[in-house]
Amino acid sequence: MRRPFISANWKMYKTIKQTAEFFKEFLPLVKDVKDVDIVIAPPALSIPKAVELTKGSNVEISAQNLYFEKEGAFTGEISADMILEAGCPYTIVGHSERRQYFNESDEFLNKKTKAALAAGLKVIFCIGETLSEREGGKIEEVLGRQLTEGLKDISADKLVIAYEPVWAIGTGVTASPEQAQDAHAFVRGKLKALYGVKADDLRILYGGSVKPNNVKELMSKPDVDGALVGGASLKADSFSQIVKFK
């Protein structure tokens, strides 16, 4: 049985001070949760403070992004080794906002994922279709390409997949539990083509307007193993309710 995985992506929200305030409120709310992996991805500048505050707790920290080179003249970027040295075991790769706003291609994301895994990071690898792609009947084509090209020559070890329909991110519109399950079942089938029986152990998260009032139904679906939460993760109370979905 796959262990539930609930992750927060704070995007470009929260200063270091606000990060400290969040964890002061949040950690007591989830201290008794033993059967869910809890991961939070703050902005890069807040990672050291988040790591410090969660040390010894049941919460782990993720970076939101990285660059695939180990070092060099890449102004503004951070490497896998820098993330690891900060005490952070995870990174997100391929979020739709990185694909959309920063034109990150499947080939580029493949390089980033390989660099992260080679350094010892665990990767939350994001995929998802736009509204026009969904309405054009291209869901399977898009998700299949993002998986096969993005994960080319990459081991299944230390991977978590996050399916985020772009049309549901930050819009308040959530894929129905049935839509989510259909997409997750397709994704698991593609993963089986890539990884064989190992795909049965890979966790697939749903992301896109996940809230306390819809997480339980989403999590009831057989191929939905967790959630990647945006807006609802910014408040300790709402995110703790999502973590405690059971």
User: Where in the sequence numbering do the catalytic residues fall?
Assistant: 95, 164
Query: Measured over all CA atoms, what is the biggest interatomic distance in the chain, rounded to whole angstroms?
Result: 48
Q: Is 234 exposed, middle or buried (CB count within 10 Å of its CB: 0-12, 13-18, 19+)?
A: middle
Q: Is 233 exposed, middle or buried (CB count within 10 Å of its CB: 0-12, 13-18, 19+)?
A: buried
CA distance 165 to 235: 23
Task: Show Cβ contacts of residue 197 under 8 Å, excluding neighbours closer than 6 positions.
Answer: none
Q: Phi/psi class of residue 172: alpha, beta or left (left: φ > 0; alpha: ψ in -120 to 50)? A: left
| Cα 5 to chain centroid, rounded | 9
Best CA proximity match to 115, nearest among 85, 88, 93: 93
| Cα 13 to chain centroid, rounded | 16
DSSP states of 159-227: EEEEE--GGGSSSS----HHHHHHHHHHHHHHHHHHHGGGGGT--EEEESS--TTTHHHHHTSTT--EE
Q: 90 has which bridge partners?
A: 62, 122
Both tokens of 20, joined, read 């400290």
